[in-house]
Amino acid sequence: MLAQQIGTVLKVVPVNPAGELEPAAIAAAITPRTRLCAFGHVSNALGSVNPVAEIVRLARAAGAKVLLDGAQAVAHGGVDVQALDCDFYAFSGHKLYGPTGIGVLYGKRELLAAMPPYQGGGDMIKTVSFDAPSTRPAAQIRGRHPAYRRRDRAGAAIRYFLSLDLAGALAHENALLEHATRRAAEVPGLRLIGTARHKAAVMSFLIDGTHPQDLGVLLDSQGIAIRTGHHCAMPVMQRFGIPGTARASFAFYNTHDEIERFFAALDKARRMLV
């Protein structure tokens, strides 16, 4: 949108066949004229964990700022924005087991202090005066968890998530992904889309002779919930020459038994369709 408005040049870094951003391709895209490097921390469509440290290093050398989309990363292990050294970090509430319609944009204090709001008015206002206009509290930014008595605008979901053993949760999710990846290799005609060396617990796949949406419907009828389609990542699908994928996502609350149930249901669906 900014490119359309003021002529900003938008450069797209390609991914390799495994769904990875390669350092050489990133380096080729960043020049002294680069002002902002905007990347996904983790690909929602492929699960690839992008090389944030390398991106930040190259951006700093060029004098550019870094914005990370952390929607898919924030719930898969702890995110430390200071360690990442990104300038901005954005994520949505529902990816962190909270309500829909709300999100967070983190920015370094000195940058936010230098950036006046670009837009105001409309539904964001509770009261208007010349002295102190105020915003209204929306239902989506309030939540309650039994462990916390008071309401908190930061959201009960975030507090709950931070109360977990995040390192243990991440290790468990990685074990689930390894389990699922091994089982996927045993399914006739199954092709994984996105085989990066570093992945979050996301497994996107296709099965020869079937449509992802048909798989989703048949799995749903067996009590298995997956996502199907282009996952709002149509350029990624175009890169791999496919209309979409079936995507299974695993979290700390899933179990190895559920992985086996998933593949039993998938086998049944495959036999019905092929």
75: left (phi over 0), alpha (psi -120 to 50) or beta: alpha
CA gap 180, 174 in Å, rounded: 10
232 is catalytic: yes
- Choose, from 9, 24, 147, 232, the residue flagged as catalytic: 232
Is 97 in a helix, a strand, or coil? coil
Torsion of CA 192, 195, 200, 204, to 10 degrees: -20
* Residue 93 · residue 65 · CB < 8 Å: no
Q: Furthest-apart CA pair in the chain: how many Å?
A: 68
* Residue 261 · residue 179 · CB < 8 Å: no
C-alpha distances in Å from residue 8, one per residue of 1, 22, 117: 9, 24, 20
Angle at 208 between CA 190 and CA 254, to 5 degrees: 35
Tell me which DSSP letter residue 7 carries. -
* Residue 81 · residue 64 · CB < 8 Å: no
Mind telling me the catalytic residues? Answer: 232
